[in-house]
A = this chain, B = another copy of it.
């Protein structure tokens, strides 16, 4: 029986390493020891040019590719990072924000030659299993997107000493490293823009109360009103859940409370799109009767009619920044959890 060929895997499912050469074989062929090949592969300076050349030739001849699994086991580092998105799929579909984050993360990770493990966690049950997953030593760090205030995962991760970075913070004083966009300033700018156009009765459709991002945008709304010398009226604030349906319901509510409102700032484009529909249904013209501004500058914003003025978040850049922060944390844990707040940009279109 050939031990060389012998492969594991229960149920007879062969190990599929059809003769893939190992470090050892490269070493034999190059006439050097394992350690030397390892040094060459990992770019150590401690190898003489001639030896290096010989090893590289052997690698080329054999078509050797290092086994990352073995490397991970021996070195204790997996060179992989998990991206956790604890959201129902509807949002994943409709919010290009996620796609942009993923794209940014992917780009930056590829540059660092790290791998991306994607985890979509719809429900709490899956979330629980995730803990085991992550402690199963398969990733060096975790990227967490769209965390709710009561999300326990970040703390769990800290407990098992797995570096993590959030996109967005759970609270104002977030204790875990994060990257966020300047939601307060973005909202402020949007509302100031509305005020600047002479709108006097500016309502807002805020995000969920249990998400910092919702609170922040609402705070920006209030700040802008106050700066413009307007009184903040609680009856001009309605809450939505970032969905189109939620936005529509919120708009209906606002219209009922204040039929004369002449502007709406929605904390997401999807909610703005819902509001747009409701305003239309209620016979309001946009922007003539009611100006409308959204948040996210998503594809939806460009396709409504009229196209939505919206606050652009640098989602892709946020993804990249998250990775940079995470890799730094993996290399060396910093004493203070670092964070980064990126600026937003108001994109003015026909709706305001």
Q: Which A residues form the contact surface with B (CB < 8 A)?
A: 1-2, 4-11, 13-18, 20, 42-43, 65-70, 72-78, 80, 83, 89, 92-94, 96, 98-100, 102-103, 106-107, 110, 113, 115-120, 122, 126, 129, 132-133, 135-138, 140, 160-162, 273, 299-300, 303-305, 316, 330-332
Residues from chain B with a CB closer than 8 A to the CB of A72 are 69
Whether the pair B110, A126 counts as a contact (CB closer than 8 A) is yes
Knowing A77-B16, A103-B89, the reply to whether A273 touches B303 (Cβ < 8 A) is: yes
A27 CB, nearest partner CB in chain B, Å: 18
Inter-subunit contact A106/B120 (CB<8 Å): yes
Contact of A99 among B98, B113, B316 (CB under 8 A): B98
Contacting pair A136 B76 (CB below 8 A): no
Q: Which residues of B contact A66 (CB under 8 A)?
A: 136
Residues A93 and B99 in contact, CB atoms below 8 Å apart: yes
Is B69 in contact with A9, judged by CB distance below 8 angstroms? no
Asked whether A74 lies within 8 Å of B20 as measured between CB atoms, the reply is no
What residue of chain B has the Cβ atom nearest to residue A14's Cβ? B76
B160 pairs with A17, CB closer than 8 A = yes
Q: Which residues of B contact A17 (CB under 8 A)?
A: 76, 135, 137, 160-162
